[in-house]
Amino acid sequence: MAGRDETPGTTGSRGSRLLGCVALASLGVLGVLAFVLTGPDVRIHPTTGEEFGQFDAVRMLYLHVPMAILMYASFLLCAVASVGVLVKRTPWWDVMAHSTAEVGTVLCGLVLVTGSIWGRPVWNTWWEWGDVRLMTTLVLFLLFAGYLALRGTTSDPRRQERQAAVVALVAVLDIPLVNRSVEWWENRTLHQRSTLEELKIEDLTLFTLMFGFLTFGLVVWWLTLQRFRVGWLERAAIDHAVGSAIAERRSETSAVELDAAIGVSDDPAGEESP
Amino acid sequence: MTHLGYLVAGWGISLVVLGGYALRLVRRGRSLSAEVPEDRRRWLESPGTDRD
């Protein structure tokens, strides 16, 4: 088990360090696959004979699409953990919900940015306000940004956990809209339908995309693990600080009570009393 | 290679953001570890064993 051999002073364990190394190596291999071994997307128009396609901009999709899928996965995990918060009411579920929401929001921001950069050469626009998928993704980002902001507002942690869980469960309802928007509002989006579902890509392009899913799966796994440990430590640090303060206060109180019980003066050494 | 600037920007921003976030998590974890007794750094405890 990865958590049993941790080095004191860090959030790393042998397992998580191995996972991080594998994720980094996979990123390197993905870079080679995406930039060296795969070719650009160039097709020949059947009637005019002209070249068309995404050309080298397709290499952005080996990054953008896996991040989008892992973003869905993170937010769905957050929803599951939020149900756990409401039902079980244990800190494990809350830390998990917070961790997955934060990692998912980072991914969502990157999905929006990389999508915009990819859209400029392919669609000739950075952003299209009428595009349903873009707008629903932006709404998803804002909802989870609001979730993270909520985590820092209320002073009552139990209330904050429950409120955040409800917000997460409402926010996650946007995911089907994001994912299915290209089918449900086909004429209101620049996005194409899923190339994976319709198997429009094959061979090395498909392999590279699949390898991208694996790579970003490892990266997100490592990030979530680290974020979970940080969240757990934050709670432990607060509990420890509160526990120490209570113990200190109790020892002070009991010393005074003990002195009073045995009739010792407040001023045994003849010092001035207030 | 076509669209090289876009590719560098997209991949570069993503890797820098993810790398920066990872570094922030590791640093935050290290500073928190120093504040917590060693017996409470058991990351994979069973759910709910530590409340109240």
ipTM of the complex: 0.84
In the predicted structure, residue A13 carries a pLDDT above the cut 90: no
B25 pLDDT more than 70: yes
Task: State whether residue A53 is helix, strand or coil.
Answer: strand
Confidence of residue A95 (pLDDT cuts 50, 70, 90): very high
What is the rounded end-to-end Cα distance, in angstroms, of chain B? 60
Which of A181, A174, A164 has its CA nearest to residue A84? A164
Q: Which of residues 2-21 of B touch A (CB under 8 A)?
A: 2-4, 6-7, 9-11, 13-15, 17-18, 21
Confidence of residue A2 (pLDDT cuts 50, 70, 90): very low
Poorest-pLDDT segment among A12-26, A153-167, A255-269: A255-269
* pLDDT, mean of residues A217-231: 96
| Cβ neighbours of B37 (radius 10 Å) | 11
* pLDDT for A88: 93
Q: Do B34 and A114 touch (CB under 8 A)?
A: no
Chain A, chain B: beta-carbon pairs less than 8 Å apart: 135
Across the interface, do A56 and B4 touch by the CB < 8 Å criterion? yes
Examine the pLDDT at B48 and tell me if it is beyond 70. Answer: no
Q: How confident is the model at residue A268 (pLDDT cuts 50, 70, 90)?
A: very low
Distance, in Å, from the CA atom of A15 to the CA atom of A218, rounded to the nearest integer, reads 12
CA distance B11 to chain A (A): 7
Name the more confident of B17 and A181.
B17
Across-strand partners of A22? none
Is some CB atom of chain A closer than 8 A to the CB atom of B37?
Answer: yes
Mean pLDDT of A42-51: 84
Residue A219, pLDDT above cutoff 70 = yes
Contact B35 A241 (CB under 8 A): yes
Looking at the complex, report in whole angstroms how far the Cα of residue B20 sits from the nearest Cα belonging to chain A: 11
pLDDT over 70 (residue A203): yes
What b-and-e string marks burial along A231-257, b requiring 16 or more CB atoms within 10 Å of the CB?
bbbbbbbeeeeeeeeeeeeeeeeeeee
Looking at chain A, the whole-number percentage of residues with pLDDT higher than 90 is 57
